[in-house]
Amino acid sequence: MDNSVSEKLYSVSSGPGVYLMKDRRQQIIYVGKAANLKKRLSSYFIRTSHPDLKTGVLVKKIVDFETIITGSEKEALLLESTLIKRHKPRYNVILKDDKRYPSIRIDVKADYPSLEIVRKPQKDRAVYFGPFSSPGAVNHTIKLINKTFKLRKCSAGPVKPRSRPCLNFQMGLCLAPCCYDVDKNEYHKIVNEVRMFLNGQIHELVKKLKDEMDGAARAEEFETAARLRDKIWALEKTVEKQIAVASDFADRDVIGVARNDMLTLVAVLLIRKGFLQAVRQYAFKDAISTDHEIIDAFVKQYYQQADYIPREILLPMVLPDAAVYEDWLSDVKASSVRILVPERGSKVRLIEMAQKNADARLKKMVDDLSARTDLLKRLQKILNLQRLPLRIECFDNSGMMGSNLVAGMVVFTDGKPDKKYYRKYAIKTVGLQDDYACMKEALERRFKKNNKNELPDLLMVDGGKGQLNIAMDVLEKLDLKNAFDVIGIAKKDVDKGEPHDKIYKPGRVNPINFGKNIEVLYFLQRIRDEAHRFAISFHRQKRAKTALHSSLDAIPGIGKKRKAALVKKFSSIAKIKDASVDEIAGVPGMTRTAAESVHLFLDNFSA
């Protein structure tokens, strides 16, 4: 042990707090908390051997440490989580899957609330339901609600008056508060029914509706009774599809963990009112942490950002600081939260279910990774690439009659789309429909500053030998000709009887023959198709903005500055048309008179 570390250890407090371990470069490599800082730090430095691999590796790297004293263990817990999130230390278990799951938001304080899908709940006065396991799951739920309950379907926010109701009113799916004087109390009764539905109180809701239906029938209000009957049928079908996993109808999360030499996966069963609502999974690379460390880190980080904390959390193993976590989570929830490790009964079966889900999902993830790796290895062999193409970039152009020319770049990492690296290029130097010139500009802009961007293992351009030659010319001028491999993909010529698209390499006259490895060619086609879709989507956006500018040009009193302000605020004619005069007048540079002119023109234009 270093003398400076030994001296600092002597003066460390025996109270609760947080410690930060540093390496020789003074980088923070580990953050931990302790009820007794002196005792915890002594366990690192005084022992000659350590029971787990991770601690042994960590101690060899430590040359310095800092401590921060807190008032309690709970304060230490919160500070530790904050510092881990800020510094992302190498030897802490960090949940890198920070994807936000979709939730449903209802602004219950609004006069006429509507449903809204959000990924980042705010601390506002709205009510949130979820999270849902995927966009598909939340969209299915909203579709069911929209068919069953007559809430407005337009975007969230204040109701915008309309001259006539939309199609949803004609179909009996909306009360149209935008056009008619809808009683707010009656509307909020429907909102409360939707809240019961989303809270899992479907049995209670069905009983309530049956009582209302019987009352309507006795009062000979047969149309009302028939509507309630249809709503009850729809809800009962939903109940039939749910999976009941607990008889006590409680809210709880159940956690399981699975791991192999490469990955660790934590699965969380979200059980609400006794029904399994969703299974979340978090995978990360960690080979040296113990299962206790992984579960401990997961509980701290997951529930620090959780949208909803259930009253009970079931774990597969005992955590030393479980009482501290219960105290912290109870404060957040403002009601009692218990962390349990069941030993018998139905709750043990729930732990087994979580474990089976974790095992199955880890196996699928490993199988998928192995299949993609095998595909990339075959691609490397067939194309004789310098290295395994873990990062593939593909470029495509889009335009129409020389206007709104664009290019798009998509990136596939480890055989999967990596959308955070996608890039759009609005072509600036080309005035005509010249695919070669567009490709040249996009590639130059991508690779001119290659020191700030990760280079691909394989670059693919959409087009034949011409586009491929353009790419090679650009890379040669930028001294990147041999930095990575380049290929061109050209569509098959049906008239010549060509069965597949063609892949060209520099310096080779004929396209590559894939033989029996046709799925490798299909993989490259999928990347090209994604680049094509991405470029066309960008082109359509630009074309829509151009059309918006053209439409605004015809409105009296709308000059260049006002036009630009309207485009920036609303982005489409449809959104301006749906806006009220007050909203249009609120755009910088607009006056009430100009706003009325815009509103009148667009209303007559669409009539």
Instruction: Report the CATH number at residue 448.
Output: 3.30.420.340
| pLDDT level of residue 98 (50, 70, 90 thresholds) | very low
Average pLDDT of span 486-500: 84
| pLDDT level of residue 201 (50, 70, 90 thresholds) | low
User: Does one domain contain both 430 and 534?
Assistant: yes
Examine residue 296 and state whether it is found in any structural domain, yes or no: yes
Q: 3-state class of 411 per DSSP?
A: strand
Yes or no: say if 182 and 134 are a contact pair by the CB < 8 Å rule. no
User: Does one domain contain both 408 and 511?
Assistant: yes
Cis check for the bond before 131: say yes or no (omega within 30 of 0).
yes
User: Does one domain contain both 109 and 140?
Assistant: yes
Q: Does the structure show a pLDDT above 90 at 90?
A: no
User: Does one domain contain both 68 and 137?
Assistant: no
Q: Does the structure show a pLDDT above 90 at 313?
A: yes
Examine residue 390 and state whether it is found in any structural domain, yes or no: no
Distance CA 594, CA 600 (A): 10
**Which residues of 370-439 form beta strands (DSSP E)?**
391-400, 403-413, 416-417, 423-426
Q: 3-state class of 29 per DSSP?
A: strand
Strand partners, 64: 22
Average pLDDT of span 188-197: 85
User: Does one domain contain both 60 and 107?
Assistant: no
Yes or no: say if 94 and 101 are a contact pair by the CB < 8 Å rule. no
Examine residue 224 and state whether it is found in any structural domain, yes or no: no
Of the listed ranges 111-120, 131-140, 202-211, 327-336, the least confidently predicted one is 131-140
- Structure tokens of 459? 């670059």
Distance CA 45, CA 4 (A): 12
Looking at residue 551, its pLDDT comes to 66
Q: Does the structure show a pLDDT above 60 at 9?
A: yes
Yes or no: say if 159 and 169 are a contact pair by the CB < 8 Å rule. no
Structural domain containing residue 11: 3-87
Examine residue 189 and state whether it is found in any structural domain, yes or no: yes
Distance CA 435, CA 442 (A): 11
Q: What is the DSSP letter of 584?
A: H
Last residue of a domain, one of 87, 119, 137: 87
Which amino acid appears at position 415 of this protein? G
**Residues 395-420 pLDDT 10s:** 998 865 556 788 899 999 999 999 88
Distance CA 382, CA 512 (A): 8
Q: From the CB of residue 428, how many other CB atoms can be counted at a distance below 10 Å?
A: 9
Examine residue 499 and state whether it is found in any structural domain, yes or no: yes
Give the percent of the chain with pLDDT over 90.
24
Looking at residue 392, its pLDDT comes to 95
Yes or no: say if 265 and 365 are a contact pair by the CB < 8 Å rule. yes
Average pLDDT of span 229-244: 68
Looking at residue 281, its pLDDT comes to 82
Examine residue 526 and state whether it is found in any structural domain, yes or no: yes
Q: What is the dihedral of CA 503, 505, 510, 515, to 10 degrees?
A: -50
Yes or no: say if 338 and 309 are a contact pair by the CB < 8 Å rule. no
Distance CA 213, CA 207 (A): 10
Measured between alpha carbons, how far is residue 551 from residues 64, 573, 583, 592, 602 in Å?
A: 66, 8, 19, 20, 9
CATH of the domain at 597: 1.10.150.20
Last residue of a domain, one of 87, 112, 141: 87
Examine residue 383 and state whether it is found in any structural domain, yes or no: no
User: Does one domain contain both 558 and 534?
Assistant: no
Looking at residue 473, its pLDDT comes to 92
Average pLDDT of span 568-593: 80
Examine residue 98 and state whether it is found in any structural domain, yes or no: no
Last residue of a domain, one of 41, 62, 87: 87
Average pLDDT of span 259-275: 84
User: Does one domain contain both 303 and 401?
Assistant: no
Yes or no: say if 153 and 68 are a contact pair by the CB < 8 Å rule. no
| pLDDT level of residue 179 (50, 70, 90 thresholds) | confident
What are the backbone dihedrals phi and psi of residue 527, each rounded to the nearest 5 degrees, phi first?
-65, -45
Q: Is the pTM of this model over 0.85?
A: no
Report the domain count for the chain: 5
Of the listed ranges 170-184, 277-291, 296-310, 585-599, the least confidently predicted one is 277-291
Distance CA 589, CA 566 (A): 9
Of the listed ranges 46-55, 351-360, 455-464, 467-476, the least confidently predicted one is 46-55
